[in-house]
């Protein structure tokens, strides 16, 4: 095992749902849990240096979506206070570099589900002021922004409000996340956005046919536009019969073959699913991924890109050192 390669790489995980688990179980991020996938000890063991923390807006909170987002933000900021010596909220690329220099985990606050906006663009601006730097436009269903993957039979894309949100996110220099979005919506976003976008937790639909994964055409377009897809460890999205680390590596092999090495990142979705991926059970097991990539013959340069370098390139381009607060577009 090349420990030096793993520990010296900036490992970015573009999606986890640990905030939901912490709220449900009333436990602490700094304490090692026997269940689940993510906590501070396992993030450290796995070498994670940049972690997205998603406020997942579940359909069960219909009528109270924004309130639910605020509850999860409150939990997030409480955990930041408890772990202040270990984790730092980052709002721009300067913050990210500062966190890395202090050997703190750079925390990026995200919202999974545009339902939280409740149809109001001013809410997006307020979320940005609260530190949110990424929005997953939809979950699986339909919301005010557009259709999710579960609505594919309607061939619906973004709504007028969804278009407004994408444009405003460009103004605010927020990361636009197309995971969970319908294919029509995906193409709408790529047409409208002036910045590269991310698919925070999606795999190859050719390697594993699942509505949540991306088609070859989508992957190629994402790569052409400078975007990055975070490969997810959700077993159902890795392989239908025998999901494992080896099958996840098959996704990487295939994506590199059709789109090159510059569009691949990690987006585990840890604590967003039950069970464990064989060979990569939780955040502490991430060194096994680096070992697997070496065994597949990848160059160190490309491995560093997969582990986080590609996302860092995108962050720097979109954020451009500042958040964009107060920008008039």
Per-residue pLDDT of the chain (329 residues), as tens digits, is 578 999 999 999 999 999 999 999 999 999 999 899 999 999 999 999 999 999 999 999 999 999 999 999 999 999 999 999 999 999 999 999 999 999 999 999 999 999 999 999 999 999 999 999 999 999 999 999 999 999 978 889 999 999 999 999 999 999 999 999 999 999 999 999 999 999 999 999 999 999 999 999 999 999 999 999 999 999 999 999 999 999 999 999 999 999 999 999 999 999 999 999 999 999 999 999 999 999 999 999 999 999 999 999 999 999 984 544 544 56
C-beta of residue 180 within 8 angstroms of C-beta of residue 15:
no
pLDDT digits (tens, 9 = 90+) for 214-254: 999 999 999 999 999 999 999 999 999 999 999 999 999 99
Asked whether 23 and 187 are in contact (CB, 8 A), the reply is no
Please give the Cα distance from 163 to 4 (Å, whole number): 44
Q: What is the CATH number of domain 9-319?
A: 3.20.20.140
Domain map (residue ranges) of the chain: 9-319
The backbone torsions φ and ψ at residue 113, rounded to the nearest 5 degrees and listed phi first, read 125, 110
How far apart are alpha carbons 224 and 260 in whole angstroms?
10
pLDDT, tens digit (0-9, with 9 covering 90-100), for 11-56: 999 999 999 999 999 999 999 998 999 999 999 999 999 999 999 9
């Amino acid at each position: 095992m090349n420990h030096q390669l793993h520990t010296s790489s900036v490992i970015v995980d573009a999606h986890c749902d640990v905030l939901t688990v912490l709220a449900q179980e009333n436990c602490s991020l700094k304490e090692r849990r026997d269940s689940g996938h993510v906590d501070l000890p396992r993030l450290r063991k796995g070498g994670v240096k940049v972690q997205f923390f998603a406020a997942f807006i579940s359909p069960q909170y219909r009528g109270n979506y924004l309130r639910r987002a605020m509850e999860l933000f409150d939990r997030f900021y409480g955990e930041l206070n408890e772990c202040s010596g270990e984790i730092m909220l980052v709002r721009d690329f300067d913050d990210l570099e500062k966190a890395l220099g202090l050997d703190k985990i750079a925390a990026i606050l995200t919202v999974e589900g545009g339902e939280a906006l409740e149809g109001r663009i001013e809410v997006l601006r307020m979320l940005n002021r609260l530190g949110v730097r990424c929005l997953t436009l939809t979950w699986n269903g339909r919301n005010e922004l557009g259709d999710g993957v579960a609505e594919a039979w309607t061939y619906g894309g973004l709504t007028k409000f969804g278009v407004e949100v994408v444009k405003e996110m460009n103004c605010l220099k927020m990361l636009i996340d197309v995971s969970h979005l319908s294919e029509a919506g995906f193409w709408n976003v790529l047409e409208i956005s002036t910045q590269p976008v991310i698919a925070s937790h999606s795999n190859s639909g050719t390697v594993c046919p699942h509505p949540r994964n991306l088609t070859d055409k989508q992957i190629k377009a994402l790569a052409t536009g400078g975007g990055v897809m975070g490969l997810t460890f959700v077993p159902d999205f890795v392989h239908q019969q025998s999901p494992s680390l080896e099958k996840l590596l098959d996704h990487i092999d295939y994506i590199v073959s059709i789109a090159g090495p510059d569009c691949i990142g990690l987006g585990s979705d840890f604590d967003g699913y039950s069970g464990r991926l064989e060979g990569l059970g939780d955040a502490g097991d991430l060194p096994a991924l680096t070992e697997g990539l070496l065994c597949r013959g990848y160059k160190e340069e490309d491995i560093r890109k997969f582990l986080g370098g590609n996302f860092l390139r995108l962050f720097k381009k979109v954020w451009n050192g500042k958040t964009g607060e107060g920008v008039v577009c």
